[in-house]
Amino acid sequence: MSDKIYIFDTTLRDGEQAPGFSMNIDEKINLALQLAKLKVDIIEAGFPIASEGDFEAVREVSKTVKGPIIAGLCRVKKKDIDRAWEALQYAERARIHTFVATSDIHLEYKLKKTREEVLKEAVEAVGYAKTLTNDVEFSTEDAARSDLDFLCKIVESVIDAGAGTVNIPDTVGYAIPYEFGALIKCIMDKVPNISKARVSVHCHNDLGLAVANSIAAIENGARQVECTINGIGERAGNASLEEIVMTIKTRKDHLKHYTTVKTEEIYKTSRLLTNITGVSVQPNKAIVGQNAFAHEAGIHQDGVLKERTTYEIMTPESIGLTKSNLVLGKHSGRHAFSNRLKELGFDLHPDDLEKAFIRFKRLADMKKEIFDEDLETIVQDEIATFPQTFELIYIQASTGNQTVPTATVKLKKDNEIYQDAAIGDGPVDASYQAIDRITKIPGKLVSYNIRAVTGGKDALGEVVIKVQFNGEIVTGVGASTDVIEASTKAYLNAVNKVAYRQKK
């Protein structure tokens, strides 16, 4: 029998907990809206009790995003559940997700409680959450290392208390596929009321087995998978959403099940996340990596040219990626440009479209070939999700092994033009110091990364930096065929984020 596999995306909650992946409220809303376009079934928007920022993010996502169920995580404590509901109550459909550890190692060393105490707390928490919303999920933290009889007992008890979904996590990525599949089968067989709830799994990737364990769970009765875009998350990350979804789609001959995820939005969602966080995926990452659909070996190239399926088990188009060169050039008009952006999934406001078109025309004058990746970078670089306090008008830098690196920067703010110059250790440092002098928002560069968006000597370069402002780390992204301009735009992007927050 073919069953639907429900996709529970926890990028905004578990994914954001990973060092270097934190997002502000506007970025979370932007990503959540894209997850809705991706048509995930559930979005876990955060852990409301964890901080005021997390609470506000869950509340605003609940108010803004339509379509998916919006979930908030909470411990088995009344104050956690109340705080979660306070944020979730605005959602079109809301889910309270409560959890407690069930393994003896967690009970002894972390909770310092008995099994009986934990069982009582779990049942009471689910019962209370059920008075607030009909959709309650319960998770048995560290289930893969829990006593099987106790695990089955607590699952049965929370289902009786009203949990419609029971989640069996491999919290520390300890299980291997055969073992984890057997655990799910045992729960399906031994828990008498299991048919009254949907069984979910949440696998971590400490041994690189998160996706394999999730697939093994599906084969043995799990019908919900908790995962993240690009597999981000605590430590080595979570099961990767794109890998789970495309495995189910590509191997439907074996798995027999399906998801309702719009796979053509996968690549765009992955790119949005990397632009928000400033952390790129490795080139050999499955599905969304730069090399996922690249063929260099002569035998492979020959095979693909003769018949694509010789070396490609899925098409680039199936994840929203196209490898064909963009036919547009410097003589193309707005209509053709707008149509191509819509084909790539961008439906821009007229003002944003005009900004992107101007940038496209400048790029077309500099590059012989323009690719879809160039267009995506233009849109993500030029169209910000927050008002731009400072706009880059001009950058001129000089450097050499016999000269002092100098940069002159001209910025616009509130229709006023400001210009200053500075020297530095190099042209990039000099431009950053000039920006500091103009904006009066000094930052300290923490990390600097650059990559070519496309191939060729005239490739568009994308710079991703992390800058510290008064102890806060902010990500900046900028792109240009000129490295100094891309670097300057990346720094200004970070400064604008700080300026926007100061205004708010």
Q: What's the pTM?
A: 0.80
Torsions phi, psi of 369, nearest 5? -125, 140
* Per-position pLDDT tens, the chain of length 504: 789 999 999 999 999 988 878 898 999 999 999 999 999 999 999 999 999 999 999 999 999 999 999 999 999 999 999 999 999 999 999 999 999 999 999 999 999 999 999 999 999 999 999 999 999 999 999 999 999 999 999 999 999 999 999 999 999 999 999 999 999 999 999 999 999 999 999 999 999 999 999 999 999 999 999 999 999 999 999 999 999 999 999 999 999 999 999 999 999 999 999 988 888 899 899 999 878 877 655 566 567 567 878 888 898 889 987 654 455 777 777 887 887 788 777 777 788 888 888 888 888 887 766 777 778 777 766 666 667 899 999 999 999 888 899 999 999 999 999 999 999 999 999 999 999 999 999 999 999 999 887 766 667 888 989 999 988 888 888 888 899 999 999 999 999 989 988 876
For residue 157, which amino acid is it? S
| 90 touches 62 (CB < 8 A) | yes
377's enclosing H/E stretch is helix 372-382
> Where exactly are the structural domains of the chain?
6-277, 293-321, 324-367, 391-503
Structure tokens at 137: 């999920």
- Encode 206-233: b = buried (16+ Cβ within 10 Å), e = exposed: beebbbbbbbbbbbbebbbbbbbbbbbb
pLDDT at res. 325: 44
CA 253 to centroid of chain Cα atoms = 29
Question: To which CATH superfamily is domain 6-277 assigned?
Answer: Aldolase class I (3.20.20.70)
Cα(420)–Cα(429) distance, integer angstroms:
14
Cα(463)–Cα(275) distance, integer angstroms:
10
CATH class in words for 391-503 = alpha beta
User: What count of Cα atoms within 13 Å lies in the side-chain half-sphere of residue 406?
Assistant: 7
Cα(375)–Cα(364) distance, integer angstroms:
11
